[in-house]
Structure 1
């Protein structure tokens, strides 16, 4: 009890100190920057650390939606030649299956603008950045979006008549948390599309909405799969962070309810930042002794556990991957010997030809200003950008050799570019936010669109009130409305002659209630053992 109170007191003091510092900054900005700051007075410019490339996406509209998406996975420093004392942010390792989230956001805007029944006579615009999976870049992006295109001016927006609806983002707790800390102080709506953690408490972040919060459902279905095949002796491997600890304990509880025994939970020493090799090897020597043949992965995604010194332990083990692990196609393709015949639980959706056609338009020749797309072609297909200085930099950083491409190349298919609008996390987050806008403007006959009746503070207050109504409605209808029940599929990943083949082997389909029906075709599954049968565990 005391430990619980101490933990919450520590969290409260941490948030209190952050909010206090934010208010000091905002008060200082208000003193320095009166409401006529769009004349760009030097005292009002916030000198933010620059980025080598900012990855900004802007489209005008009556209502602007901000977006912060993780596409690049690492951040490094870059010395600016003209300013040797200044180090810029340099984003590294863009992943094309993360780029899909950005594409889905742009697709959602496009589809909703084409639908005359959602927001009649109103166009949606956007202002988007890549967070590069770094808290500093996420905060920088939030401040830039709130100020509007151009120079960053704290606590002021240089947009004209446009209303600002809120933010979509981000994917992980690492970037979503600092965003929530700032946006809750400023009372701006934030809808996450990937971050799932109980530290994002509504009491601490009243303007935060989580569109994907399905840990319990995910682990429940994984447990159903394990019970179906008669596996009663399994292991759990999780990341060594708080997310991994929470996830592993929840999974342990659900497995116990299914009368499935857990031989071990390995979540120590597997640190993403500074792994201690001897600790890792000690943990895995215990795994070897357990004789476990099925291991479930959980927590934050990382691939340290598949390093070469550990591979021999997993040749005979069937891995079960949750959605956040399975979404990394590069992980599965990187370790074919280990992950061959593995099973993964993924969000399932019906094919949407509109999205497929939309994605086909993302080509460097069609979108020459899309730097994320250009960088993906450089790092994935080794295509030259046409900029000698940039090519040289990327060849040195990534240790690759670039060449001129024909333009006929295509990025590898991330697997399933299909997306039913009610199941894709990004689309669902957008749908939720726009549903709140629809209720708000319908109730006012769009009278506040041009800013004639409401100032920004009143507008945000009204939007929050209507969004909460939408949020409660979604919670209530989840029990009886298929629209808000996510669909899942289980996939079997098989390597044949060096090529990866993925097939859906069964699905959890909605039957019109909160429970879902398990439809299985076990004959499609290929297993690691030669008999191509279910591996029975001890």
Structure 2
């Protein structure tokens, strides 16, 4: 943590345990490498550690000091003596990493960050020597968008820091949300705690009170000031579910200041399997004691905060006034590993991976050098080997650096909730896999999540209720697309799958059968072998088979599909069917026309049959009506759009089917119902025989 007292110098105060754990990771990994002579024979990794305190000015000053080799930084001057700088590791925050990367890019030094997620660092033209063991915010915000869509949340609020980092994240979040149908109801920007902040607190309280969004995204710079501001809004946020961005993974200690607000929250963070030997690391960490390392002032600060008072009275007095902790005398038995927060299983091994990446790159570079090692220059060279470094964890999963220099990993969805024994518990409830199929890359175990709601049900966060079946969305007088009204749909559509082809085929088979039967009565007629039900069945099957072949070919080559029509009626989305292949569609209609034409021919052949069997006039009228309907349907179908197209199809189907029924079967039904006396065999065979 940094404090700017006189605007001319920066002072770091309060050592955070999470940051010190990163520091120990660095020391431990370097010690492991140097203690193994088989890794870097005849070479030893050295290091210089500078604390940026989260300030850009101090970060730039530190990197210039390293490059200059002097106490006072001198740009473009180097007096490093025998030191040979291989590369740079850091920083944790994007705002301090970017200016350092800009300077190192000019000199050709490789840099690996363990926490910077700003998307601008993915630009390989501007930062060709930059790598990071975390992914950019683009990947995280896409995972966050998938999470919101999974729970049906499309109405959210955003609370961000009032700085460049907060503005960039807010803009990026809004862009992703808008592309996936999620609306932002309000945005609150947190500024430094001053008179203006106090005056605007009442306004922000009113905004949250009047908001219907139950999901709030926290982004921007996470620090004590941020949590202090949230604490002032605790009453308003007590019923809201908070979604934390990946930056909070490195600042979970901030949540301790207002843990009740974060109960029931969700956070996504990169998922790592810690690849280092945990047993050796615990031994290494347990040996870190102020009595063994008296020059380690960071360690003293942590011991004073968590364990006991220092022997220095002035330092003791300063700590007592600065932090609300009860100090006691040191026993000498205190250990870092006794601190509960130090043993968290969610500590990111990003620092370990960063150092190991640097080591692997150096190892590859040295193995390909033909000159003497004392003359090796790592500038403009090391980055070629860093991009090929891979990691395989204990689950046999391989992580690698993508084309933007980012280590590709999974994201773990965590649920933060209050527990009786601990203020906050982090429980994994899901996983997002960037390289999986879009419909399979997010897995959530919802029953494991503890929500803020009294009944522990998933909170609702929508501007408008989902429209029930039979209703559609209509635009509401609002600037947000997520707000709409539900209006009743038009008359429902019916299926356009009918048996009209089979009906025409059956009619054709009936007429053919009657014609063959009378021709077969002549002596020596060759038509006798065609008598029986086989003929009519064969005609129906043959004609229907051709139709089936046409339809199957149509479906195989270019099947119909659903499409959204947003142009016919502005403000209304019409779901309609696209035929897919015009040739297939008109082949079906053309085949019906062919059957109708054949029926006309048979009607002509059957005109000389006895009256009781002569149905030529019925067939003729039915075919005339059938063809008239479908011929007029074609231009009407082509000239209509939207739901009117469906109406044309429905009319053609019903009218043609009704024509067949009326002309062929209505006379027979009339005889059966109203003239039963002529519905006898003697009358049928006696008339005009």
After TM superposition, the score normalised by the length of structure 1 is: 0.71
Going from structure 1 to structure 2, the CA distance change for 1:239 and 1:180 (only over 3 Å counts) comes to same
**Greater mean alpha carbon deviation, residues 510-519 or residues 180-189:** 510-519
Larger Rg over CA atoms: 2
Deviation at 1:343, TM superposition (A): 1.6
Residue 371 of structure 1: aligned partner: 297
After TM superposition, the score normalised by the length of structure 2 is: 0.57
Deviation at 1:241, TM superposition (A): 1.6
Q: For 1:109 and 1:89, locate their aligned partners in 2 and report how far apart those are by CA, in whole Å.
A: 29
Q: For 2:411 and 2:167, locate their aligned partners in 1 and report how far apart those are by CA, in whole Å.
A: 24
**Contact 2:400–2:408 (CA under 8 A) maintained in structure 1:** no
**Contact 2:135–2:407 (CA under 8 A) maintained in structure 1:** no
For the pair 1:426 / 2:356, whether they are aligned, the reply is: no
**Greater mean alpha carbon deviation, residues 172-181 or residues 110-119:** 110-119
**Greater mean alpha carbon deviation, residues 309-318 or residues 356-365:** 356-365
Q: For 2:460 and 2:325, locate their aligned partners in 1 and report how far apart those are by CA, in whole Å.
A: 45
Deviation at 1:512, TM superposition (A): 6.7
Deviation at 1:372, TM superposition (A): 0.6
Deviation at 1:172, TM superposition (A): 1.7
Going from structure 1 to structure 2, the CA distance change for 1:216 and 1:178 (only over 3 Å counts) comes to closer
Q: For 1:251 and 1:537, locate their aligned partners in 2 and report how far apart those are by CA, in whole Å.
A: 17
Q: For 2:445 and 2:228, locate their aligned partners in 1 and report how far apart those are by CA, in whole Å.
A: 31
For the pair 1:107 / 2:28, whether they are aligned, the reply is: yes
Query: Which residue, 378, 381, 386 being the options, matches 1:462?
Result: 381
Query: Which residue, 439, 444, 460 being the options, matches 2:369?
Result: 444
Residue 624 of structure 2: aligned partner: none
Going from structure 1 to structure 2, the CA distance change for 1:486 and 1:146 (only over 3 Å counts) comes to same
Q: For 2:310 and 2:64, locate their aligned partners in 1 and report how far apart those are by CA, in whole Å.
A: 30
Q: For 2:54 and 2:124, locate their aligned partners in 1 and report how far apart those are by CA, in whole Å.
A: 23
Q: For 2:232 and 2:51, locate their aligned partners in 1 and report how far apart those are by CA, in whole Å.
A: 34
SS at match of 2:379: helix
Going from structure 1 to structure 2, the CA distance change for 1:336 and 1:399 (only over 3 Å counts) comes to closer
Residue 75 of structure 1: aligned partner: 3
Deviation at 1:243, TM superposition (A): 1.7
Query: Which residue, 227, 230, 237 being the options, matches 2:152?
Result: 230
Task: After superposition, give the CA deviation of every residue in 1:118-165 in whole Å (9 maximum; x if it has no partner).
Answer: 5344321211122222334323433443455x85574334443x4211
Q: For 2:258 and 2:176, locate their aligned partners in 1 and report how far apart those are by CA, in whole Å.
A: 29
For the pair 1:119 / 2:40, whether they are aligned, the reply is: yes
Q: For 2:145 and 2:212, locate their aligned partners in 1 and report how far apart those are by CA, in whole Å.
A: 20
Residue 576 of structure 2: aligned partner: none
Residue 26 of structure 1: aligned partner: none
Going from structure 1 to structure 2, the CA distance change for 1:394 and 1:523 (only over 3 Å counts) comes to same
Residue 411 of structure 2: aligned partner: 488
For the pair 1:502 / 2:425, whether they are aligned, the reply is: yes
* 1:316-465 → structure 2 map (5 Å cutoff): 316-351=239-274, 352=276, 353=278, 354-378=280-304, 380-381=305-306, 383-398=308-323, 402-410=327-335, 412-414=339-341, 417-418=344-345, 424-445=349-370, 447-451=371-375, 454=376, 458-465=377-384
Q: For 1:266 and 1:313, locate their aligned partners in 2 and report how far apart those are by CA, in whole Å.
A: 13
**Contact 2:59–2:100 (CA under 8 A) maintained in structure 1:** yes
SS at match of 1:109: helix
**Contact 2:109–2:380 (CA under 8 A) maintained in structure 1:** no
Going from structure 1 to structure 2, the CA distance change for 1:231 and 1:400 (only over 3 Å counts) comes to closer
Q: For 1:182 and 1:277, locate their aligned partners in 2 and report how far apart those are by CA, in whole Å.
A: 39
For the pair 1:532 / 2:532, whether they are aligned, the reply is: no
**Contact 1:355–1:419 (CA under 8 A) maintained in structure 2:** no
Query: Which residue, 104, 129, 146 being the options, matches 2:50?
Result: 129
Task: After superposition, give the CA deviation of every residue in 1:314-340 in whole Å (9 maximum; x if it has no partner).
Answer: 111111112212432322222132111
**Greater mean alpha carbon deviation, residues 311-320 or residues 331-340:** 331-340
Residue 252 of structure 1: aligned partner: 174
CA RMSD after TM alignment: 3.6
Query: Which residue, 188, 191, 214 being the options, matches 1:266?
Result: 188
Listed as ranges, the gaps of 5+ residues in structure 2 are 391-397, 463-689
Normalized per residue, which structure has more strand?
A: 1
Residue 285 of structure 1: aligned partner: 206
Deviation at 1:294, TM superposition (A): 1.1
Q: For 1:117 and 1:517, locate their aligned partners in 2 and report how far apart those are by CA, in whole Å.
A: 40
Residue 19 of structure 2: aligned partner: 98
* 1:166-185 → structure 2 map (5 Å cutoff): 166-185=87-106
SS at match of 1:504: strand
Q: For 2:199 and 2:434, locate their aligned partners in 1 and report how far apart those are by CA, in whole Å.
A: 49
SS at match of 1:491: strand
Aligned length: 441
Residue 194 of structure 1: aligned partner: 115
SS at match of 1:327: helix
| Larger RCO, structures 1/2 (Cα 8 Å, 6+ apart) | 1
